[in-house]
Amino acid sequence: NINRSKMPKYPGLERWILVEKMGDGAFSNVYRAKDSTTEYGEVAIKVVRKFEMNSNQRANILKEVQIMRNLDHPNVVKLIDFSESRQYYYIVLELCPGGELFHQIVRLTYFSENLSRHVIRQVAEAIEYLHETSGVVHRDIKPENLLFYPIPHVPSKNPKPQQPGDEDKEDEGEFVPGVGAGGIGKIKLADFGLSKVIWDSQTMTPCGTVGYTAPEIVKDERYSKSVDMWAMGCVLYTLLCGFPPFYDESIQVLTEKVARGQYTFLSPWWDDISKSAQDLISHLLTVDPEKRFTIKEFLAHPWIQGTDEETTAAA
């Protein structure tokens, strides 16, 4: 029983029946919508208010769409259609019915190691595809831009004994990837608004004239990839304990902490989290981008593989 009269009408968007607002940004509203033809079921539509933007901001939207057009991976939100009217851009996207991972962290307080692995592995698959196949860096990886497909909740057969501080924590369910994973199925990376092409996936060369590329451009490519790896470290840290590695009320102090890589595995929250997970995070939250893990090193780590002693002993 949806009151459709409350949904705004947009010129040129008649094909799609807006159902509800799912999110918003500085210049956009995101709606859940249904296809009036039978080709697609439900979709998400990002309606961007062109008239509020300057030419630079408009160009950025077109760039976001152009990048998404060339992407095709199970862990990346698919672009279905793009059109515009005089006042709006309409970006029609594959719908992720679960919404933001961010809200699930709030709901569950923090994720078990198994659930965290289930999530971050999929993020890593998306990043590997972007970095190694598409020549794209995302540059805005965070729980608000990680969307998911929900799966029905399967309660634990043997609920874990509660730990101090767990009183309000919801049982995330018996862990069977894709079944009892805290209701979280497939993860999709969204929001390519800050993303950048670093090399041409057609010619497998850095963007620009081949042979004339300066070393700092080649280095720049490596650095920009490592930006995504740092962000993945922040996401993994947050999944495991429920709060981010760097925080301060003062932006100045926070910036200084990040610049120095000043974070800790805070007791008591980290006491029962495996040393292997902490080892992986420390290789991502490394200030020197040359020493920081690449996506290949990340994927090969025992904690991600699920082959470290602590994980195999627990299983």
Contact 183, 104 (CB under 8 A): yes
Q: Give which of Mg ion, ligand ADP, none residue 147 binds (C-beta under 5 to 8 Å, depending on kind).
A: ligand ADP
Does the footprint of Mg ion cover residue 64 (CB under 5 A)?
A: no
- Is 35 designated active site? no
Site string for Mg ion, 134-173 (x = CB under 5 A): -----------x----------------------------
Candidates 79, 31, 29; CA nearest to 50 is 29
270 DSSP β-pair partners:
none
Strands (E) in 95-223, as ranges, are 99-100, 136-137, 146-150, 184-189, 196-197, 199-200, 205-206
In 3D space, the residue among 25, 55, 304 whose CA is nearest the CA of residue 190 turns out to be: 25
Of the residues 35, 81, 140, 171, which is catalytic? 140
Q: Please check whether residue 42 is in contact with residue 82, taking contact to mean a CB–CB distance below 8 angstroms.
A: no
Q: Minimum distance from CB of 24 to ligand ADP (Å)?
A: 7
| Binds ligand ADP (CB under 6 A): choice among 18, 30, 115, 130 | 30
Span interacting with ligand ADP, options 95-103, 170-178, 219-227, 303-311, rule CB under 6 A: 95-103
Query: Distance between alpha carbon 166 and the CA centroid of its chain, in Å?
Result: 26
Residue with tokens 């002693």: 309
Q: To the nearest whole angstrom, how small is the minimum distance from the Cβ of residue 143 to ligand ADP? A: 9
Residue 44 binding ligand ADP, by CB under 6 A: yes
67 part of the interface to ligand ADP, by CB under 6 A: no
- Contact flags string 2-21 toward ligand ADP, x per CB under 6 A: --------------------
Collect all residues with Cβ–Cβ distance below 8 Å to 45 and sequence separation of at least 6. 13, 16, 18, 30, 31, 33, 90, 91, 92, 93
Site residues for ligand ADP per CB under 6 A: 22-23, 25, 28, 30, 44, 46, 77, 93-96, 99-100, 144-145, 147, 190-191, 193
Q: Which residues bind Mg ion (CB under 5 A)?
A: 145, 191
